[in-house]
Amino acid sequence: MPYLLIKSVHVGAVMIFVGGLFSHHSALRVNGPPVDPDEFHFSRTVTTAAMFTVWGAGIWMASSAGWFPFFWLQLKFVFVALLSGIHGAQTGWIRRGKVVDRRIKASLFWLIIISLIAISCLVILKPRFG
């Protein structure tokens, strides 16, 4: 029961986190004027809290189920780290009011999409490598 409860919290937090990722992606400007950081203060806080919840619940689940040695989970961590890094960069740029290069913005969008598809495949299929 606690496992399913934590899993529900994890999935809910993932949805909020991913929503925030795309919301902040849309907010980034490729030409001026730069975005007002105060406008996104609440959104940044909620998305960051959701990201920390995703990590905490994920680590708890992996620890209780003994999944840390499995390669699919280790690979998933790489994509989670990538998404977390993108969120850090997005919030940092919004906080700074930075105008982002169009190619960087497009690359980040596809990185988010590819990471989300990869994470879904890894979690649902749990492939065994080797």
The residues binding other proteins (CB under 8 A) are 37-38, 41, 45, 51-52, 55-56, 59-60, 63, 84-85, 88-89, 91-93, 95-96
Q: Say how far apart CA 104 and CA 66 lie, in whole Å.
A: 38
The secondary structure of the chain in percent helix, strand, coil, rounded to multiples of 5, reads 80, 0, 20
Q: Which is nearer to other proteins, 91 or 115 (CB)?
A: 91
Which tokens hold the place of 27? 């907010």
Report the nearest approach of other proteins to the CB of residue 18 (Å).
17
Q: Which is nearer to other proteins, 88 or 127 (CB)?
A: 88
> Which residues have a Cβ under 8 Å from the Cβ of 2 and sit 6 or more positions away?
none
The span from the CA of 78 to the CA of 86, in Å, is 12
- Least distance from C-beta 101 to other proteins, angstroms? 14
Residue closer to other proteins, measured from CB, 2 or 125: 2
Which position has the token pair 């907010």? 27
Least distance CB 90 / other proteins (angstroms) = 9
Q: Which amino acid is at 3?
A: Y
CB of 41 to other proteins, least distance (A): 8
Q: Which residue number, 66 or 130, has a Cβ lying nearer to other proteins? A: 66
